[in-house]
A and B are shown apart, each in its own frame.
Chain A
Amino acid sequence: GEDVEQSLFLSVREGDSSVINCTYTDSSSTYLYWYKQEPGAGLQLLTYIFSNMDMKQDQRLTVLLNKKDKHLSLRIADTQTGDSAIYFCANTGNQFYFGTGTSLTVIP
């Protein structure tokens, strides 16, 4: 089956950029997604990228997709304390496959 990998933890200082990485194995997907999970809450759709795009920018968020290496990344510019959360990437072959999630801690 599909294997979606993420590192478990990331710490950054407030105001710096955060980069959260994701690798996947199934390249048949149409869309790849990023979700954010705040403590005690469900997953909230953050952004997505169509599989024929290399980059998508949405305010402070930049998504990069390297199809050759099957690598997806999420860059958060000017990271704020409110960005502290768990971030999940999701590949969507024949179903949604979620990564293990990356816990982002923003240090004031």
Chain B
Amino acid sequence: DAGITQSPRYKITETGRQVTLMCHQTWSHSYMFWYRQDLGHGLRLIYYSAAADITDKGEVPDGYVVSRSKTENFPLTLESATRSQTSVYFCASSDQGWGNQPQHFGDGTRLSIL
């Protein structure tokens, strides 16, 4: 089925380790986004991408790295995980830029950093 898939769904790792969260979409949407969801903060934008090889920072980019070598994939890497990065991470995609089209979300990755 077409859609947006995230992997893994659950991940436990240790402080200081590198971890990569995967996101894959089959709609050929131009825009892709990474959010983190924390209680009391709603969703906060980490990074976004307007097209392959074009990425930009969102509200909370520190400690994260993204790449977009192919339109359909947008991995998020925590280079040296910290406990404050324990969160639920959502990937989203959209056919157009901000606001004019809705964003479509994956089911999330629940990341725990011990």
Contact = CB atoms under 8 A, between A and B. Distances in A.
Interface of A: 1, 4, 29-31, 33, 35, 40-45, 48, 88, 92-96, 98-101
Contacts of B42: 4, 88, 98-101
7 contacts: A40-B107, A40-B108, A43-B105, A88-B43, A92-B99, A96-B103, A98-B43
Interface of B: 33, 35, 40-43, 45, 48, 58-59, 90, 92, 98-100, 102-108
Q: Is the interface of B mostly helix, strand, loop or mixed?
A: loop
Contact of B98 (A42, A48, A88, A95): A95
A107 to B, nearest CB: 23
Contact of B102 (A41, A42, A48, A101): A48
Contact of B41 (A29, A42, A93, A100): A100
A30 B99 contact: yes
* Listed residue (A30, A88, A92) with the most chain B CB atoms within 10 angstroms of its CB: A92
